Amino acid sequence: MVGTVADQRGEVPSTASPTAAPDPSDWVEAFVSCGSNLGDRSAHLSGALAALKAHHGMRVTATSSVYRTAPVDHLDQPDFLNAVIRLATVLPPLTLLRVLQHIETRHGRQRSTRWGPRTLDLDLLLHGRTRCDTGELILPHPRMTQRAFVLVPLCELAPDLRHPGTGLSMRQHLQQLSPRQVVQRIGPLRAPPIPGEFS
What residues are labeled active site?
Answer: 109, 118, 121, 123
DSSP states of 111-177 = -SSTT---S-EEEEEEETT--EE-SS-EES-TTGGG-HHHHHHHHHH-TTPBPTTT--BHHHHHHTS
Residues 6+ apart with CB under 8 A from 104: 118, 119, 120, 121, 122
CA distance 163 to 43: 31
Q: What are phi and psi of 80, to 5 degrees?
A: -100, 155
Q: Which helix (H) or strand (E) holds 43?
A: helix 41-54
Distance of CA 52 to the CA centre of its chain: 10
Task: Give CA angle at 157 (156, 163), nearest 5°.
Answer: 105
Beta bridge partners of 138: 133
